[in-house]
Amino acid sequence: MDYFRNIVIVAAIAGALAGLAMTVAQQLTTVPMIVKAEVYEEQGDATATAHEHGAETAAHDHDHGEGWAPADGAERTFFTFAANMVTGVGFALLLVAVSELFGGIANWRQGVFWGLAGFVVFTLAPGLGLPPELPAMPAAELGARQAWWLGTVLATAIALGLLFYSRSLVAVLAAIALLVAPHVIGAPQPVSYESPIPEGLHHSFVVAVVMTALLFWVLLGGLAGFFRERFIHAA
Amino acid sequence: MGDLDMNTFSTKPEGDGIHTAALTASRVVPIFMAALLGIFIVGGVGFSRIEAVHNAAHDYRHSMSFPCH
ipTM of the complex: 0.84
The band of A54, judged by pLDDT with boundaries at 50, 70 and 90, is very low
- What are the chain A neighbours of B38 within 8 Å (beta carbons)? 11, 89-94, 97
pLDDT at residue A234 greater than cutoff 90: no
Q: Which of residues 89-128 of A touch B (CB under 8 A)?
A: 89-94, 96-98, 100-101, 103-104, 122-123, 126-127
pLDDT at residue B51 greater than cutoff 70: yes
Cβ within 8 Å, pair A82-B27: no
Cβ within 8 Å, pair A142-B5: no
pLDDT at residue A144 greater than cutoff 90: yes
pLDDT at A49: 54
The pLDDT tens digits for A5-43 are 999 999 999 999 999 999 999 999 999 999 999 999 888
* Helix boundaries (H) for chain A: 2-28, 30-49, 74-101, 108-119, 125-129, 142-165, 169-185, 199-228
A88 in reach of chain B (CB within 8 A): no
The pLDDT tens digits for A73-115 are 889 999 999 999 999 999 999 999 999 999 999 999 999 999 9
Q: Mean pLDDT, to the nearest integer, of A154-161?
A: 97
Q: What is the DSSP string of A126-169?
A: HHHHS----TT-----HHHHHHHHHHHHHHHHHHHHHHHH---H
pLDDT at residue A201 greater than cutoff 70: yes
- What are the chain B neighbours of A30 within 8 Å (beta carbons)? 59, 62-63
Task: Please answer whether residues A207 and A132 qualify as being in contact, where contact means their C-beta atoms are separated by less than 8 angstroms.
Answer: no
The pLDDT tens digits for A114-143 are 999 999 999 999 999 999 999 889 999 989
pTM: 0.85
The band of B53, judged by pLDDT with boundaries at 50, 70 and 90, is confident
The band of A165, judged by pLDDT with boundaries at 50, 70 and 90, is very high
**Which of B1, B9, B60 lies nearest to residue A83, judging by beta carbons?**
B60
**Please, what is the average pLDDT of chain A?**
90
Q: How far is CA A19 from CA A80, A81, A83, in A?
A: 10, 7, 8
